[in-house]
Amino acid sequence: MEEKRAGFVGLGLMGLPMAKSLLLAGWEVTAWNRSAGPVQEFAGQGGRTAPDVASLRDLPVIAFMLPDLPFIEEAASGLLASWAETPPEAGTAVVVMSSVSPAQVKDFGQRVHEASHGLASVVDAPVSGGTSGASEGTLAIMAGGAVGDFERLEAFFGAMGTTVRHMGPLGTGSLAKACNQLIVGTTTAALAEAAELAERSGMDPGALFDVLAGGLAGSRVLEIVGSRLARKDYNPTGPAKFMHKDLSFVLESAKEAGAAVPMATAAADLYAELKRQGLGDRDLAVVRQAISNLSDNTADTATRGAVTL
């Protein structure tokens, strides 16, 4: 893609640093966000701003980084209505960079195709790497869509990530992200269990994680989340409730494919419990607190049982 012009919708914890990375790479970026604060910060970095999403209609790339597909569909409604009246330029790319349902993003792609008279297409390109990867421009980006669309977007993706892969047709990027979240969610939960077991047994979880990092249990998840788990630092780098959403996409995809996913099923139940405990807006590491609460409930039940006997 020769034109380095793009629209960016959603300047949250991930979206704002991603949009800034595009600026640093020489892209002219026009952004829209529901709240004004991030927009002002982005403008202070040299970015352009739009009064609404429909104003981005003539840009060759329009990226969305909102919490889930229903938010994207709502934000894009005016854009699609505008295209229905006056078609966009051929080759316009709508890039869904959020974690969304692999099945539903294909339906969204069909609606974009119809509204744009076949001139715009959707590429689903969710990211992994957290806020640190977004800030450093080192995200992993897994893209689904037509090969030609992906090739035109490689420079766009390369401004935000260092690992960029085309996974297949539309929906496969979201499926790859669901698999990523299956691994991240279950690994974080296992580390949280280990930390809680260690501390309740009189062991320092930080020391445990130090030695685990040097063996087969070492992982990127341990490297990034381990210290927060050990310190019980639950200040959000991304709300934990989104993990439950992402694991629901794993279960949805597994049902469609006829695949057994016992780990994902157990993890989805655990993160649902985390939300029931009112912890969903805290950091992913707060799964340790959810497990601690379950441990306390188990201990209380055992104590009551002992008293009864």
Domain borders along the chain are: 5-168, 175-308
The whole-angstrom separation of Cα 166 and Cα 169 is 9
Among 284, 272, 291, which residue's Cα sits nearest to residue 130? 284
The pLDDT of residue 301 is: 56
Q: What is the DSSP letter of 168?
A: E
Domains 5-168 and 175-308 share a fold: no
pLDDT above 60: residue 295: yes
Architecture of domain 5-168: 3-Layer(aba) Sandwich (3.40)
Percent of the chain with pLDDT over 70: 96
Q: What is the DSSP letter of 239?
A: B
The whole-angstrom separation of Cα 94 and Cα 7 is 9
**Homologous superfamily assigned to 175-308:** N-(1-d-carboxylethyl)-l-norvaline Dehydrogenase; domain 2 (1.10.1040.10)
The pLDDT of residue 305 is: 46
The pLDDT of residue 309 is: 29
Tokens of 275: 């939300």
Summarised one tens digit per residue, pLDDT across range 72-125 is 999 999 999 999 999 999 999 999 999 999 999 999 999 999 999 999 999 999
Summarised one tens digit per residue, pLDDT across range 59-78 is 999 999 999 999 999 999 99
Torsions phi, psi for 66 (to 5 deg):
-115, 165
Among 229, 225, 235, which residue's Cα sits nearest to residue 282? 235
The pLDDT of residue 20 is: 98
Query: Judging by beta carbons within 10 Å of its beta carbon (0-12, 13-18, 19+), is residue 276 exposed, middle or buried?
Result: exposed
Summarised one tens digit per residue, pLDDT across range 169-221 is 999 999 999 999 999 999 999 999 999 999 999 999 999 999 999 999 999 99
Residues 6+ apart with CB under 8 A from 172: 102, 124, 142, 144
